Homo-oligomer: A and B are copies of this chain.
C-alpha cells in the first residue's frame, strides 16, 4: 500500500463534526465511552440519506432482492455454526501479578511473554507475563435471570447470519426463485482491542449487507463480477472520487478457506490512514448455509421445481459499513479554499446534494422591511418538501459560510428586490453562482436539482 496523496483531514473533521452537530463522542459528559459515537442532528440525517440510498438501490428498485430486519440477539448456536465462537479472536497477554491485559503486539512489552525475562509494562514485574492467549471479540451477555454459561448470548458481530438462518423463511414467504438476494441494515458489535480513527473502527457500528443466492452449477462467477461492478458504481454515484476508490483482491493468505473469491472496495481516507476497506464483495460458496444445516439439523436447501433439483445455493455477499461510508463521504467532501476578493477563505463540505442534511438555507438579507416574515413563510413552505434551515443572525456572508461547511447545496436570500417583485436569489454552494428566480418557483427548481 503506497501512502496517500490526499491530506489528512481527520482532526479537522472531528472538530467540525462536534461543533456543527454531525457526530459527538458517546456519553461525553461522563468522559466518553471507548470508541462509541453518537450521531447529532446533521449526522443522523446524513447517515439516513446514505442508508436510504442503499435500501432504495438494493431493495426497493429491484424485484430480485427482499429486505429483512433480524434481531441483534440471536441463538448462541448461530455463532458456533458461523465459526465466530472458535475463530473470531485476537491474541492477548496477561500479567499474573497485576492482572492487567495487553495485546500480544503491544510495543510497550519488553522481552518474550511466557519467558522469565519478559517485563510487564504496567506493574514492572519480570516473568509474570503469560504466553499469548486468544480473546474472543464478541460481546457476551446473559438472557434470563441466571448468569451462567447456559444463559450466554452474544451481540451479533455481523448482520449476515440473520440472513442465512432466515433463508428459507424469506424464500418461501415471498416465493422468490434463485437467483435472488436478501438485504439488511442493522447494528453489529465487536469488542475491538484497538479501535480508532473516529468512526472508522468502532465497537458499535452499522452494516448494510446483502446476500445473493445463486445456483452452484450456474453462472455464479458472473454474478460475483456483476455485484463487484454494481457496488463500485454505487460508491461512485455517492460522489466519492474515482481516484480515491480501488478494488483490493484478497491474496491467498487473506482469503477465508471456504471463499472462492473476495474483493474489498477501498477508499483513500488521506494521510497515513490511506486506502482502507469500506465494503467487501465476497463469494462465500455454500459455507454458511451448509454450516447452519449441520448445526441446526434443518435442511436449508432450495427446491428448483422446473428441474426437480434440490441444492444448497452459493452466496455472493456485499457488505458495506454505514459508518465508514459516512466517514468516506465526509472526508471526500471536505475542502478549504480561498475566495476571490475575500481575505478569509471558506470550508466546504462538498457532498452530493441528495446526501446533504439540509437542502437549502433561507435568509432575509436584513432583519427589517418585511424580509424576515417573507423568508420565514418561504422556509415553512419549502420544509414540506425537504429539510431547510432558516437563519437571520449575523452578516449574510457568515450565514453562507455556515451552510457551506455543513454541505447545504443551496442558499436562498430574500432581499429588497424580493419585496418589490417577489424574486429571490439562489446561491450554489460549489460554483458560488447566484441566480434570481421567482420565490414560488424556487421549491421546484431545487427539487429538480436534488434529483440530478
If A21-B169, A173-B19 touch, whether A204 touches B72 (CB-CB below 8 Å) is: yes
Mark out the residues of chain A between 385 and 442 whose CB falls within 8 Å of any chain B CB in the assembled complex: 387, 390, 393
Q: How far is the CA of A29 from the CA of B81 in the complex (A)?
A: 12
The reply to whether B387 and A74 form a contact with Cβ atoms under 8 Å apart is no
The reply to whether A41 and B63 form a contact with Cβ atoms under 8 Å apart is no
If A169-B21, A170-B40 touch, whether A142 touches B143 (CB-CB below 8 Å) is: no
A47 interface residue per 8 A CB criterion: yes
If A21-B174, A60-B387, A71-B33 touch, whether A40 touches B166 (CB-CB below 8 Å) is: yes
Query: Chain A's interface: helix, strand, loop or mixed, by majority?
Result: mixed
A191 interface residue per 8 A CB criterion: yes
Proximity bits, A7-31, B CB within 8 Å = 1, else 0: 0000000000011110010111111
Q: How far is the CA of A99 from the CA of B147 in the complex (A)?
A: 11
Q: How far is the CA of A224 from the CA of B61 in the complex (A)?
A: 42
The reply to whether A101 and B21 form a contact with Cβ atoms under 8 Å apart is no
A228 interface residue per 8 A CB criterion: no
Chain B hits for A387, CB < 8 A: 60
The reply to whether B38 and A67 form a contact with Cβ atoms under 8 Å apart is no
Q: How far is the CA of A19 from the CA of B19 in the complex (A)?
A: 49
The reply to whether B145 and A300 form a contact with Cβ atoms under 8 Å apart is no
Look across to chain B and name the residue whose beta carbon is closest to the beta carbon of A173.
Answer: B21
The reply to whether A173 and B298 form a contact with Cβ atoms under 8 Å apart is no
Taking a contact as CB atoms closer than 8 A, the residue among B47, B92, B174, B175 that contacts A145 in the complex is: B92
The reply to whether A26 and B73 form a contact with Cβ atoms under 8 Å apart is yes
The reply to whether B27 and A78 form a contact with Cβ atoms under 8 Å apart is yes
Q: How far is the CA of A18 from the CA of B42 in the complex (A)?
A: 37
The reply to whether A296 and B30 form a contact with Cβ atoms under 8 Å apart is yes
Chain B hits for A75, CB < 8 A: 26-27, 30-33
If A78-B30, A173-B20 touch, whether A38 touches B143 (CB-CB below 8 Å) is: no
The reply to whether B67 and A45 form a contact with Cβ atoms under 8 Å apart is yes
Mark out the residues of chain A between 135 and 184 whose CB falls within 8 Å of any chain B CB in the assembled complex: 135, 139-146, 153, 155, 162, 165-166, 168-170, 173-175
A34 interface residue per 8 A CB criterion: yes
Q: How far is the CA of A141 from the CA of B241 in the complex (A)?
A: 40
Q: A26-B71, A30-B296 are in contact. List 5 more A-B contacts (CB 8 A).
A: A19-B173, A30-B78, A32-B75, A33-B153, A73-B189
Q: Please give the residue numbers on chain A whose beta carbons come within 8 Å of chain B beta carbons, in ascending order.
A: 18-21, 24, 26-34, 36-45, 47, 60-61, 63, 66-75, 77-78, 92, 99-101, 135, 139-146, 153, 155, 162, 165-166, 168-170, 173-175, 187, 189, 191, 193, 203-204, 292, 295-296, 298, 300, 379-380, 383-384, 387, 390, 393
